[in-house]
């Protein structure tokens, strides 16, 4: 289930997942092809001892094409129109007793796919507006832009590299920390359903031409999404967002379970500032301009995510015996 937590993926990996565009419902064992059904992970439950957890259930999921939700980072809201696909397995919940399950919020560690397949197959989404296209002379002076950078920027303006749709963002996985899922919380529409560490790559032809695209979040400082099908309230705006577990169904002689029309939300997370914009030679000058345009870094509750799609799962045992 781990619905934002994404990627760096080759064309081969994309083709081997479960294909574009993935439509719901499509409950077939073939879509679980990259499940790490024999995989395991070592984890330490809250107040417990380290333990090895093995794969319990295989899962796949996908946002809806054209209406997959949106995410707001700082001042910018990006609609999710293309499909984000995900795959892997999760273990049984942390802890061995009911009390331990409650203390650990019924969370289960996520195991990424085997054979190098990506946990999430990403899609570049267009950033609305011309967010990088209006840097003023005053801003260039404020951040001490060298003449070469000013000249390249003005040339990029002439080439229309900042027009609507020319800047894109891609959500990727970040950090070595484990992601978590809670089947119980998703179905009951309460508590954290998915906890995922992600980063965002902001891409633009001008940035590429001067040395490198922007990165928001990193392995050391990820954007940690705590997505829920229940309610979440921003500590800044006090906006209340409401998710839903959608419609539950059983398929293939009850061996595959599906949730369609799932809505996962979060408006409580921190977003760090953009880094590496323009590469080593220019990031010291471009990073602050990008952060000013996007309103970054953003405090907890200033940003929000809504994901709409479907989730499918089967026990690891059923997958191996199919």
Each residue of 155-186: pLDDT tens digit?
A: 999 999 999 999 999 988 887 678 999 999 99
Give the C-alpha separation, 174 to 3, whole Å. Answer: 13
Q: Is residue 295 part of a domain?
A: yes
Residue with tokens 């309103």: 295
Whether 36 is covered by a domain: the verdict is yes
Residues 18-41 pLDDT 10s: 334 456 656 788 889 999 999 999
How far CA 42 is from CA of 54, 91, 194, in Å, comes to 9, 11, 19
Residue bearing the bigger pLDDT, 98 or 183:
183
CA 272 to CA 9: how far, in whole Å? 24
Q: Which two tokens stand for residue 6?
A: 């994404």
pLDDT beyond 70 at 12: no
Contact 241, 230 (CB under 8 A): no
The answer as to whether 1 is a domain residue is no
Please check whether residue 153 lies inside any domain of the structure: yes
What's the rounded Cα separation, in Å, for the pair 206 and 220? 27
Most confident of 15-24, 28-37, 248-257, 278-287: 278-287
Q: In angstroms, rounded to a whole number, what is the distance separating the alpha carbons of residues 37 and 113?
A: 9
Q: Which residue has 């907890």 as its token pair?
A: 300
Please state whether the predicted TM-score (pTM) of the whole model is above 0.85. Answer: yes
**What are the tens digits of pLDDT across the range 217-248?**
999 999 999 999 999 999 999 999 999 999 99
> Does any domain span residue 3?
no
The closest of 166, 132, 137, 163 to 151, measured between CA atoms, is: 137
What DSSP letter does each residue of 203-271 carry, written as one string?
E-HHHHHHT--EEES-SSS-EEEEEBSSEEE-TTT--EEE-B--EEEEETTTTEEEEEEEEEEE----B
Query: 174 lies in a domain?
Result: yes
Residue 276's region, left for phi above 0, alpha for psi from -120 to 50, else beta, is left
Token pair of 153 as six digits: 């920027």
Residue 96 pLDDT grade (very low, low, confident, very high; cuts 50, 70, 90): confident
Domain of residue 143, residue span: 11-321
Query: Which burial class, exposed, middle or buried, applies to 271 when counting CB atoms under 10 A from its CB (0-12, 13-18, 19+)?
Result: buried
154 membership: H or E segment, kind and range? helix 147-158
What is the predicted pLDDT for the residue at 4? 33
pLDDT higher for 208 or 48? 208
* Cα radius of gyration (the chain): 21
The pLDDT mean for the chain works out to 88
19: phi then psi, degrees, rounded to nearest 5: 90, 155
Q: Which two structure tokens, joined as six digits, stand for 304?
A: 């929000």
pLDDT at 283 > cutoff 90: yes
Tell me whether residue 4 is in a domain.
no
- pLDDT at position 61: 87
Residue 266 in this model has a pLDDT that exceeds 50: yes
Q: How many domains does the chain have?
A: 1
Q: Is residue 5 part of a domain?
A: no
Q: Is the pLDDT of residue 121 over 90?
A: no
* % of the chain beyond a pLDDT of 90: 71
Of residues 276 and 99, the one with the higher pLDDT is 276
Nearest to 296 by CA among 287, 305, 283: 287
Tens of pLDDT, residue by residue over 298-322, are 999 999 999 999 999 999 999 999 8
Q: How confident is the model at residue 63 (pLDDT cuts 50, 70, 90)?
A: very high
At 10 the pLDDT is 25
């Amino acid at each position: 289930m781990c619905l934002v937590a994404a990627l760096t993926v080759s064309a081969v990996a994309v083709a081997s997942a479960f294909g574009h565009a993935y439509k719901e419902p499509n409950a077939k064992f073939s879509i679980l092809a990259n499940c790490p059904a024999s995989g395991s992970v070592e984890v330490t439950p809250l107040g417990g001892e380290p333990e090895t957890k093995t794969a319990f259930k295989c899962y796949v999921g996908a946002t809806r094409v054209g209406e997959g939700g949106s995410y707001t980072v700082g001042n910018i809201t990006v609609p999710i129109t293309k499909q984000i696909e995900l795959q892997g397995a999760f273990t049984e919940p942390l802890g061995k007793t009911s009390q331990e399950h409650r203390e650990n919020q019924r969370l289960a560690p996520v195991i990424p796919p085997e054979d190098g397949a990506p946990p999430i197959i990403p899609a570049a989404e267009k950033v609305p507006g011309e967010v990088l296209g209006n840097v003023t002379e005053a801003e260039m002076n404020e951040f001490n832009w060298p003449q070469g950078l000013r000249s390249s920027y003005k040339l990029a303006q002439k080439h229309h590299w900042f027009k609507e749709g020319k800047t894109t963002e891609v959500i990727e996985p970040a950090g070595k920390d484990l992601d978590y899922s809670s089947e119980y919380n998703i179905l009951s529409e309460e508590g954290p359903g998915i906890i995922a560490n992600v980063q965002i790559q902001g891409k633009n032809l001008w940035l590429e031409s001067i040395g490198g695209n922007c990165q928001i979040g990193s392995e050391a400082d990820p954007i940690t999404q705590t997505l829920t099908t229940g309610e979440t309230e921003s500590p800044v705006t006090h906006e209340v967002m409401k998710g839903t577990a959608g419609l539950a169904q059983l398929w293939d002689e009850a061996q595959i379970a599906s949730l369609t029309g799932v809505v996962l939300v979060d408006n409580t997370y921190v977003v760090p500032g953009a880094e590496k914009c323009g590469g080593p030679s220019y990031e010291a000058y471009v990073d602050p301009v990008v952060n000013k345009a996007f309103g970054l870094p953003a405090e907890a509750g200033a940003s929000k995510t809504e994901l709409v799609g479907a989730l499918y799962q089967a026990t690891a045992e059923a997958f191996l015996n199919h």
